[in-house]
Structure 1
């Protein structure tokens, strides 16, 4: 291994040891600096107990320590992560990186895949490798790493060793093939805006025509000119959803072809007979799903509790596809599911975690067909409080396959041939149970964000027909709450049985994010409590005040951005958004690997078979949690990118049209506009707003005219004209038509926290800040070296915030 230069000075452990010894000798309590130094030297490992042990704090000193740590957290100097303290912006001990560059010594540098831009610039991690031993990574790979105390050099802030190389880069670059006039070489417009345009070898074009989507491999680096490449594969005209989703699969490195041995294992699987399972085939369980669902992994039923001691109580049955029976630990199917982490959903297709033989056939709870399931029977009292539950490995038979709308219509009195036989004996009892469970949910007060997600309806040729927001029915809420309660039961059981599991955790907001939220709320005469721990009910109180008002959606989005993201971890800190002390994903093992682990835990805990958790899994759960959390983020971004590109492609035919929208983000270089009708996002560069010079005020999330004082603030309703669309970047550029609000800004009306640079125009290079403080490459005009990649694309942080709407709003079933 290369010997590293010494990096920036770091506190050394002996110094802390000396301070510790001095504190013990003199009886002095450690100072704030001593505590902060210890936390800095032990990121992710320093909790209150560890600090007390290290500095010899006992008795009444622990009370003083608790107060000091609370003060430090309140000042934003430390943050809590899974009962451990870190400095804001520090990395966890284990996480996933993308290997993005090499330093001057040729050593690999990685960037964390899941980095919040509000924490500052993305840190670089030096990857320590030993030749001939362990996994050998390469540029472009993804890897799971563990931080070390080794020296970092000058270009990285952290050093780490690789636990596992997750995905190898094949070096392929995706882009649009372009012809030039005359005898000049054709060229490629890379889809990735960070990549350079490159010449394409005309020797073998694979039949590519101008405008086709192709993948290439670089054959010449291009140090003294444009890089050169040769075509690997032609995908054809990129106007359909399939081509657009292909871009997302490629750019995010999502596995979408199953290896031969995985398919072979899936095809060899056989249906399950009753055997030692409980026979639940007479219980009228029903599946309630979207109308186009191809796999059905949950079925439900409910009935009044006949126990006289539980008058008004309800019994709820939730049966989940028994994926653990088919996916054995260590098998080819298991390894592939682990690598994928989850299924990925595009408007017209699914990239499944498991082959269709498993996901759409043997494990899908098909109507009137016997299927194996892991089931939970839960008892609730009349207030909606769960009083007990039991798990069972069963053979079931779905009584009916219903859509959400079909079930809802039946309850509302509109029956069809299928529901008229089910409404009294099955559907009405399920709705009666939901009425009771809703009492418990209301008493629990989870975070109740209201942010409907847009959906895309496609034409037969795969192009966009229209964009819509589906109605949220009681049928949706019912299934969601049943699944949440089943997930809680799974976590409680495994914890009680002392069985290893991955919790679904959601941390409270960081002090920095809460401070940003307070600043914004103050600009609209609303307040967030300045002292005491926040609970979801505090945010709900704010949301209730603006419900049905013009600022309702804005406040929902701003509160969403203030929330942490949920993740998988064997260390439990609870789920803030759902306001639950323990929570684990159990209800979707067809599409989430975390749920499969929980199923195996239940099998092991109850002695229900030989396909439970394997030996030694406890030591691996931290790494598995980091891997599948990163896979989840990747899937969210791929899904969001596909929707952005499809809408941009659809709107490219509407250049010059005007739309009504709302300012959804304000940054130094301009503002993001979200259109009312479609939810499409676009960018207005500050340098294109009138003749004034607009500067950014961070506290009020505004752009203020230097001379006129005209103000554009987050949430304002504006009319805009579409001037440019870059479909393959998922980017739209607007011109704002509505004058800014007259205010008292002027040349000195707001603090100069940032300027909108005139140089950051759509035709010039540069970068712009995203809504959460991140940066994305500046847009380019047609005819420049960008080859037509114009417009301005919402930052990764903005897409990430939108993609996480469902989990942060409590839709965690």
Structure 2
């Protein structure tokens, strides 16, 4: 048997490629010795020395063999350097990746440059001292932009014009004052770069005046630009969408008499799912129900290899901002031909699922249909009808449509409760805007049974799609969610031990284990804290052609099928169903399975960039909203703890800000990772994740979307002190001596 060091060395030399089979083959391990190898690998995983990803072993912080990188700069030798787009800060600074240029059969490989984003495959070549890895480009994901976004600045004396770029990596840009497009000082503008000066200063002219930084539109433009999200459809894509003709019934099943309805947010513009349910009349399934889920048939309009298809794959998904959507597909498709509008005929991919009285699925079938939505309802409208408050529309639907839907949900909920998916209680806040695009207020929408009903119906339809394609041995993009890494579980275990809550050490943890912990702290002051820490211990969901299950939903197989208007992964699943069930000629083309791993990497990265853009926009909007309240006092909760300070989330608005550790008090506050706390060395004053605190807004930086707070309330005294000490703080060195803190001897700082 190889030693532990031998195994770790082999995994290090083959990142993302070394599975149990490869390790056994390399070391010549056969027969019963494989049992000892399995035990050895398990021990290494439990102690955090290796991680398992899709049947492959890697060291914590190692990169997968195929990944997406941002090409940030060049080395001194002029070679491109990039960093991973998806990097866990817990592993330190992201590693540099040297991009190798290559020739393919006499032709150059994909051409990339600084500012591009690319899908790459790691290479075993020595990167030299300037990088940690070498890689070859598989595909360029983003075109290098010739436009720059920023704030226009006009010198009041000299009238010289320059741009403060949004991207801080871009240097200052001089603007031609003759071509401002009526832009004024302080406006957000996009500029076209025409020339770069001898000393590196770019010269440009205003291309488009976006407007005042106070509007949501301008703020979301910054997020789109900073995350490289395409938001303008090429002319050929729009032309293709406009030329599309409505799909007729042809060979489709006729479901127009089934009273399917859509239930969506009140402000929804596209409707990609409709539902109906009824009691099962099969005498052998007493108490069972039949659930119908119809999904917009996007595949009928967006065919493989078309202009719309290439653009949809590039975008990956729609991006949602407080007052607008950046759609994956042109509005002619997303809001018109594919939207399941009330009383209008639409093509759909549909599933009919049969459940027994305990919520277990007995069978399901898929159909390509023509349907007509009986009604468009909002979540609140449907919920009120069930609670006895009907309107003209819901009154006629109540008995035959709405009540059967809720009865079916009650049955499916039994199955969900037995499955016990992860149930985190983390309320989501929504920003409401005024007519001028500025923030009006922040609310927490109520979580209704209507939301839960649609969510469970969609989950079951997604499971049915995955099961069908798997049974047909079809190419498939799974939605996977890995279990927590041993390292994250150990951190969670240490934290829970501070509350006398035990997390089991042995055996595979299920979502139900976390649910039991969350139930213990429910309705207690520690509930928000524990929910937050459990969330941070979880892995991130992604797309992949290889299945490892979905840990959070506690499902063995799961795929996204229900939102093809806004997710490219769902469109792939639709095409796979069409091909494998012989439902038409517009299914997944043969040989497409070879591209799935690359596409999975692209759309997983697109999903993460959309989430970042949405979060950045909200941060900037709230910073703008609070900019005129500097000096005001607020109640908040500690939402994050690091060595450098505390992240505070305000109670009323959900705004996030930072308290630098150096401003907290006169003690030195040490970071205790296991307790998620900063603890004063002398006073034992403690500020812990989840604590409620009073803060004062010290600074608002709307451009960066940042808030800085000063903490006003004292921390709690750590329990290991045995008694409560007074919270009055001693004077620090600067206060005692009257000298600036910067003059203090370095020896003192070293001692601290």
TM-score norm. by structure 1 comes to: 0.86
What are the equivalent positions in structure 2 for 1:183-202 lying under 5 Å apart? Answer: 183=158, 185-197=160-172, 199-202=174-177
Deviation at 1:119, TM superposition (A): 2.6
Partner of 2:569: 594
Matched, 1:484 2:459: yes
Aligned equivalent of 1:9: none
Q: Is the 8 A contact 2:263 2:382 kept in 1?
A: yes
Q: Distance in 1 between matches of 2:369 and 2:609?
A: 34
Determine which of 351, 364, 367 is the counterpart of 1:392: 367
Q: Is the 8 A contact 1:704 1:745 kept in 2?
A: no
User: Post-superposition shift, 1:233?
Assistant: 3.0
Map Cα deviations across residues 97-139 of structure 1 (whole Å, 9 max, x no partner). 1100111211111111111112332111111113751211010
Contact kept in structure 2, 1:140 and 1:171, CA below 8 Å:
no
| Residue 332 (structure 1) aligns with | 307
Match status 1:121 vs 2:93: yes
RMSD of aligned residue pairs (Cα, Å): 2.1
Q: Displacement, 1:219?
A: 6.9
**Residue 110 in 1 paired to residue 85 in 2?**
no
Match of 2:662 in 1: 687
For 1:199 and 1:713, how far apart are their aligned partners in 2?
47
Give the aligned partner of residue 261 of structure 1: 236
Per the TM alignment, residue 692 of structure 1 is displaced from its structure 2 partner at its CA by 3.0
Partner in structure 1 of residue 744 of structure 2: none
Give yes or no for the alignment of 1:55 onto 2:27.
yes
Give the C-alpha shift of residue 159 in structure 1. Answer: 1.0
1-side partners of 2:193 and 2:580: how far apart?
52
The residue that corresponds to 2:588 in the other structure is 613
CA distance, structure 1, for counterparts of residue 97 and residue 200 of structure 2? 30
| C-alpha contact 2:71 2:114 (8 A) present in aligned 1 | yes
TM superposition shift of 1:50: 2.4
Contact map agreement 1:706 1:745 (CA 8 A) in 2: no
CA distance in 2, matches of 1:136, 1:226: 25
Cα distance in 2 for residues equivalent to 1:232 and 1:687 = 43
Matches within 5 A, 1:286-325: 286-325=261-300
Q: Give 1:273's match in structure 2, choosing from 238, 248, 256.
A: 248
**Distance apart, 1:515 and its partner CA:** 1.6
Paired with 2:195 and 2:639, the residues of 1 have a C-alpha distance of: 42
1:495 aligns to what SS in structure 2?
Answer: helix
Indicate how the Cα distance of structure 1 residues 581 and 264 shifts in structure 2: closer, same or farther if over 3 A, else same.
same
Count of matched residue positions in the alignment of Structure 1 and Structure 2: 723
Q: How do 1:223-242 residues align onto structure 2 when only pairs under 5 Å count?
A: 230-242=205-217
2:64 is matched with which residue? 92
**Cα–Cα, structure 1 residues 351 and 580, in superposed 2: closer, same or farther, change >3 Å?**
same
Match for 1:710 among 680, 685, 710? 685
- How much does 1:198 deviate? 5.0
The Cα shift of 1:631 comes to: 0.3
Q: Within 2, Cα distance between the matches of 1:180 and 1:690? A: 40
SS in 2 for 1:514: helix
Q: Matched residues in 1 for 2:578 and 2:44: separation?
A: 44
Of 344, 357, 362, 1:382 maps to 357
Please give the alpha-carbon distance, in whole angstroms, between the structure 2 residues aligned to 1:523 and 1:222.
59
Query: For 1:161, what is the secondary structure of its paired residue?
Result: strand
Greater Cα shift, 531-540 or 45-54: 45-54
Q: 2:102–2:136: 8 Å Cα contact kept in structure 1?
A: no
Equivalent residue in structure 1 for 2:125, among 139, 146, 150? 150
Cα distance in 2, alignment partners of residues 743 and 71 from structure 1: 35
The equivalent residue for 1:542 is 517
CA separation in 1, counterparts of 2:139 and 2:198?
33
Shift of 1:64: 1.2
Quote the offset at 1:533 in angstroms. 1.4
Partner of 1:46: 18
2:154 is aligned to 179
- The TM-score normalised by the length of structure 2 is 0.93
- Closer, same or farther: CA 690–509 of 1 in aligned 2, 3 Å: same
Describe how 1:445-460 pairs up with structure 2 within 5 A: 445-460=420-435
Q: Give 5+ residue unaligned stretches, structure 2.
A: 725-731, 735-740, 742-752
Cα distance in 2 for partners of 1:137, 1:469 equals: 44
**Is structure 2 residue 478 aligned with structure 1 residue 506?**
no
Q: Which residue of 2 aligns with 1:574?
A: 549
1:133 corresponds to which of 105, 108, 127? 108
What is the distance in 2 between the residues matched to 1:635 and 1:443? Answer: 33
Q: Which residue of 1 aligns with 2:447?
A: 472
Partner of 2:53: 81
Cα distance in 2 between the residues matched to 1:154 and 1:60: 43
Contact (CA 8 Å) 1:213, 1:235: kept in 2 or not?
A: yes
- The alpha-carbon distance between structure 1 residues 723 and 220, as it changes in their structure 2 partners (threshold 3 A), is farther
Matched with 2:530 is: 555
5+ unaligned residues in a row in structure 1: which ranges? 1-28, 750-756, 765-813
Q: Report what 1:669 is aligned to.
A: 644
